[in-house]
């Protein structure tokens, strides 16, 4: 048991320090010890990403470090095995994008880094995304959650349109997450959205709740 705990700690630390070499070593050790990908992610890599989210929220690290940690975790996950959606350790499928008329993406990149680091499969549609493109991607990828950011007051309407179109398309089971500078919990409530995300550090706990974890 001590050996397994040591390996899981190595996996956790590799993400916390965005140390890809350590991650590679730890994954190889995990395979030799017979540690399942699910356990390696849940009890090792994922816990490291939780540390990263706390540090980011406290302003102790910044976007480059978050991205580096996420990339380290992605490398480790690739080594653990192909990201097959039938595997129980793929936590859920998320479609992300910035609404039509809006070209701001930094906040979305932070969210994407945390989600991928947390074990979710993320499809990033980019910026200036029409509502119909969100819907098409949700159907194509059988998404569990869709996240749409709006960084300007004039583009908030895109979030409302997404909620309305999901209902029209009988996709109300797909959970919605909204964020962006002008977006507030009050706004999300007013458009019948499912979740409001004010920072990257919030998103993991939010999607965990949505997925019933």
pLDDT band for position 60 (cuts 50, 70, 90): very high
Q: Is the pLDDT of residue 85 over 50?
A: no
| Domain locations in the chain as residue ranges | 2-80, 93-210
What is the per-residue pLDDT for 83? 43
Q: What is the mean pLDDT of residues 92-113?
A: 87
pLDDT tens digits along 127-163: 999 999 999 999 999 999 999 999 889 999 999 999 9
CATH architecture of 2-80: Orthogonal Bundle (1.10)
What is the per-residue pLDDT for 53? 78
CA distances from 207 to 99, 155, 171, 190 (A): 20, 24, 18, 20
Helix/strand number for the chain, H first, E second: 10, 5
Of 101, 22, 27, residue with least CA distance to 69: 22
Q: Does domain 93-210 have CATH number 3.40.50.280?
A: yes
What is the per-residue pLDDT for 90? 59
Q: Are 88 and 23 in contact (CB under 8 A)?
A: no
């Amino acid at each position: 048991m001590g050996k397994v705990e040591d390996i899981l700690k190595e996996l956790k630390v590799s993400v916390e320090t965005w140390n890809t070499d350590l991650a590679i070593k730890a994954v190889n050790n995990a395979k030799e010890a017979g540690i399942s990908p699910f356990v390696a992610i849940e009890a090792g890599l994922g816990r490291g990403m939780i540390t990263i989210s706390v540090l980011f929220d406290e302003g102790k690290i910044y976007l480059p470090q978050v991205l580096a940690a996420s990339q380290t975790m992605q490398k480790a996950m690739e080594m653990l095995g192909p990201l097959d959606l039938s595997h129980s350790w793929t936590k859920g499928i998320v479609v992300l994008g910035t609404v039509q008329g809006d070209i701001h993406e930094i906040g979305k990149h932070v969210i994407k880094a945390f989600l991928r680091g947390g074990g979710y499969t993320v499809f990033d549609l980019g910026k200036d995304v029409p509502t119909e493109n969100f819907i098409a991607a949700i159907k194509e990828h059988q998404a569990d959650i869709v996240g749409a950011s709006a960084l300007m007051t004039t583009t908030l309407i895109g979030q409302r349109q997404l909620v309305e179109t999901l209902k029209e398309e009988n996709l109300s089971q797909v959970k919605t997450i909204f964020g962006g500078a002008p977006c507030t919990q009050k706004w999300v409530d007013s458009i019948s959205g499912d979740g409001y995300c004010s920072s990257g550090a919030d998103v993991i706990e939010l999607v965990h709740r949505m997925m019933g974890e």
